[in-house]
Amino acid sequence: MALFQCQFFSDALQVQVSVNVILPQPIKGPVPTLTLLHGLSDDHTTWCRNTSIERYAANRGLAVVMPAVNRSFYADMKAGSAYWTYVSEELPRIVRSYFPLSVERKHNFVAGLSMGGYGAFKLGLSHPERYAAAASLSGALDVHRLVVEEFGGDIRLALGQPDDVAGSGNDLFALAERVVAKKPIPLLYQRCGTEDFLYEDNVRFRDYALELGLPLNYGEGPGDHNWAYWDARIAEVIDWLPLE
């Protein structure tokens, strides 16, 4: 595997940005790609520093794209920059211009942890035509509750007030309801430790998704909000991805 550390100018953000990209060696044709998203206190380097993601990806010939989005909650922020536009539109276009990554839906997947788990489901449910699968690990899946409780002290800078979130494109429950009418629907993978402070949020989303009939692979077990849990789970995610 090869690791590329990239910096380029983002038109969406109007600032230089950093992205890490893992590529298999040798490259044989357009490469299937996992966009891998970080959590609230992390950046584009954290998956490589805290897990064996490079080894896991190598076993399946998978490219991994890891962007940095600060504390944006993968949103076009109410008081800040257009990180949703960057991640959902600009980033895929830019990295595909630099690297031989597949544009086909069946070869594109997204995953993340905590805030990134929310971002992964947001991407998959907002753009089911682009992603074959989305995985959330310990995801911050009920952002309406987090906004109500002013989680982290700055979440409202990203998402606004509770009334701004409910039913909007930032509300995973609303996105899940809307995606039911679309075809194809991405496969969904959800894991959360039973000791995690986001466990109840995950249960609420699980119940709603299953009630809607979404193709959700859900699992739980002992585990907290930490890298020991996420390292084990991301290996399972990569084994689960519907790669040819």
CATH classification of the domain holding 62: 3.40.50.1820
SS3 43: coil
Helices (H), 44-114: 46-50, 53-58, 83-85, 91-98
Q: Tell me how many domains the chain contains.
A: 1
Q: What is the DSSP code (8-state) at residue 87?
A: I
| pLDDT single digits (tens) 168-206 | 999 999 999 999 988 899 999 999 999 999 999 999 999
Question: What is the domain extent for residue 55?
Answer: 2-240
> Would you state the pLDDT for residue 152?
85
| pLDDT single digits (tens) 111-165 | 999 999 999 999 999 999 999 999 999 999 999 999 999 998 899 999 999 999 9
Query: Which region among 2-11, 30-39, 144-153, 231-240 has the lowest average model confidence (pLDDT)?
Result: 144-153
> Would you state the pLDDT for residue 32?
98
* Mean pLDDT for the chain overall: 97
> Would you state the pLDDT for residue 244?
79
> Would you state the pLDDT for residue 153?
85
> Would you state the pLDDT for residue 175?
98
- CA gap 41, 34 in Å, rounded: 21
